[in-house]
Amino acid sequence: MTPVFHPEALAGRVALVTGATRGLGFEMARGLAAAGASVWLNGRNAVALELRAAALRADGLDARALPFDIADADAREAAFVGVQALDILVNNVGQRDRRPLEAFATDEVRQLVEVDLLAPFELARLAAARMRAGASIVNITSIAGPIANRGDAVYTMAKGGLDALTRALAAELGPRGIRVNAVAPGVFATETNAALVADPATTDWLQRRSALGRIGAPAEIAGAVVFLASSAASYVSGHTLVVDGGYSSHF
């Protein structure tokens, strides 16, 4: 399930992927680098992040670590001082806390919205100031934006907002030649979902619920991001590309 990319599809372009230490974020970074981009990997753990960047460099890819907390305004500003030009921003970081409404303190809701919605807004603003025509922003939303479940209101609210922000940024930045799109992942076999994937009953249900009859492999997210970031999607903006194996398209 490992996609193959043309090594010059993104040649000469500089990309930043937030939340790239592991899981889908790392696979997005790998895919962009495999397509020829010079990729900044972002995360909060500098040591772990450098190990991941080094792993990509060992494969002959151009990757560097850029550790900072996206929810920290001062850290965002400081990190971008060293980023003089940027062609691709992937807003991937997201936090999820499944609890009923009554279990949340207002400050906890604010913190989740800060990470899942406000930080991507601020990063897009910082990135756009460094982007030229032909650049691309890809927001990682979720199928939990347009569809919902009990005990997940804050995440659904924030991801729905990020989906709307994608359209708004596309309208705002389009006249400058900057495209803004989103990818909405379904269920993938990431480290975060390890317990879910290990549960036979849940796995069986997910496989029956999906049109393709399986859970996604993390590497399968990369193709959508590379496509939207590349000139192959030169007339695509304000779009959310769902990557869920058909989970949300049928019943």
Q: Known catalytic residues? A: 155
Distance CA 81, CA 171 (A): 26
Distance CA 29, CA 35 (A): 10
Please list the residues that pair with 233 across neighbouring strands: none
Per-residue tokens: 186:
């379904």
Count of beta carbons in the 10 Å neighbourhood of residue 58: 9
Element (H, E) at 242: strand 240-243
